[in-house]
Structure 1
Amino acid sequence: MRLLDWLTGAPLPVLRGNGLVLRLPRGSDYRQWSALRYESRDFLTPWEPAWSEDELSAKSYRLRLMRYRQDARERTGYGFFIFDESGRTLYGGLTLGLVRRGVAQTATLGYWMGERYAGQGHMGRAIDLVCTFAFEVERLHRLEAACLPSNQRSNALLMKSGFRREGLLRKYLMIAGTWEDHHLYALLAEEWSSSPARSGADSRMPAPAVMS
């Protein structure tokens, strides 16, 4: 997949901080991604859309990678992989998707974490970086996230990250083959900039986004 990396160019945004590196996936990440997803399958599938038969295939990954690159270049979405500070160990993924400009200036947050790395604070720190990117680089006004009511860990994560629960979305997404209700959470730019989490934030700011 190195040829695909060369043809599609370097990943666009790279965020560094909080002991993490967030960047778009590369062809060379395939083996680590597929292995982490495979070993975490039972942990992830109760909260995700039903996996296809070729979910972890190289072909499916190539299509995913090309879609991420196109979305990032068009600034309609950013599919990040979450790595440790060295950029070598993959923890999970975080998507800033459905970016709407104009009078909305909003986007939707989605995420997953490998089972072996869950509960260690990595996702909270990744959300902090992505919020900085969304509000201070992309100049968005609102971030939304939808969460199954039964996913207590995810609900707690969003509230800890400053998101407010706004309501219930009935039969919002098909998860594991069933239409499921979701809690709707949102975070506004003005809430983010004035939150206690931003105190001392200068030391945790990501490097400026690399846009090529």
Structure 2
Amino acid sequence: MFACGAGGLMFGYHNSGPKVRLTTDRLVVRLVHDRDAYRLADYYAENREFLKPWEPVRDESHCYPSGWQARLGLINELQKQGSAYYFLLLDPDENEVRGVANFSNVLRGSFHACYLGYSLGEKWQGRG
């Protein structure tokens, strides 16, 4: 199941905030929102050592909900502007973050492009 925000376009050029959601039997992929601070802090705290070789150097606030509250405000603004999109990969009940993905530096016009970043938690590796 894939849902788009009201107002039309997949990533919401014309609405106040995009609403993107993909649901499968094993996973929910959706845009982050303000209520995800605790989930994101838990994900990064649990996977800190595992992700270290691939992630930029992170300060301690990356593992605390208060640090994520500030980041999520900025992320939501970028999503409204259409310049970046940050996704959570969640269990079907949306209780646990299994991974994250993002499109950043989104370019529009005759040439569409962006950077893709992603990570998958250690315990979810190798499960197809």
TM-score bucket (shorter structure) = 0.7 to 0.9
The alignment-based identity, stated in percent, is: 28
Tell me whether 1:97 sits opposite 2:80 in the alignment.
no
Counterparts of 1:83 and 1:114 in 2: how far apart (Å)? 11
Q: Which letter does structure 2 place at the counterpart of 1:20?
A: L
CA contact (8 A) 2:61 2:68 kept: no
Q: Deviations over 1:118-145 (max 9, x none)?
A: 2212xxxxxxxxxxxxxxxxxxxxxxxx
Q: Deviations over 1:42-97 (max 9, x none)?
A: 10011111011322233320122112211211111110011123333320100011
CA contact (8 A) 1:24 1:68 kept: no
Q: Deviations over 1:141-197 (max 9, x none)?
A: xxxxxxxxxxxxxxxxxxxxxxxxxxxxxxxxxxxxxxxxxxxxxxxxxxxxxxxxx
CA contact (8 A) 1:30 1:58 kept: yes
TM-score by length of 2: 0.75
Q: Secondary structure at the match of 1:46?
A: coil
Q: For residue 88 of structure 2, what is the aligned residue in structure 1?
A: 81
Q: For residue 136 of structure 1, what is the aligned residue in structure 2?
A: none
Q: For residue 173 of structure 1, what is the aligned residue in structure 2?
A: none
CA contact (8 A) 2:19 2:31 kept: yes
Of 100-109 and 56-65, deviating more is 56-65
TM-score by length of 1: 0.48
Tell me whether 1:30 sits opposite 2:33 in the alignment.
no
CA contact (8 A) 1:82 1:91 kept: yes
- Structure 1: give runs of 5+ residues left out of the alignment: 1-8, 122-212
Say which of 15, 20, 32 aligns to 2:22: 15
Q: Secondary structure at the match of 2:83?
A: coil
Counterparts of 1:31 and 1:66 in 2: how far apart (Å)? 14
- How many residue pairs get aligned? The number is 113
Q: For residue 190 of structure 1, what is the aligned residue in structure 2?
A: none
Q: For residue 119 of structure 1, what is the aligned residue in structure 2?
A: 126
- Structure 2: give runs of 5+ residues left out of the alignment: 1-15
Q: Which letter does structure 2 place at the counterpart of 1:117?
A: W
Q: Any residues of structure 2 matched to 1:49-60 within 5 Å, and which?
A: 49-60=56-67
Q: Which letter does structure 2 place at the counterpart of 1:86?
A: D
Runs of 4 or more, structure 1, over 4 Å off, are: none
Counterparts of 1:54 and 1:30 in 2: how far apart (Å)? 11
Q: Secondary structure at the match of 2:62?
A: coil
Distance 1:10 1:87, change over 3 A: farther
CA contact (8 A) 1:24 1:69 kept: no
Q: Which letter does structure 2 place at the counterpart of 1:87?
A: E
Larger Rg: 1
CA contact (8 A) 2:107 2:113 kept: yes
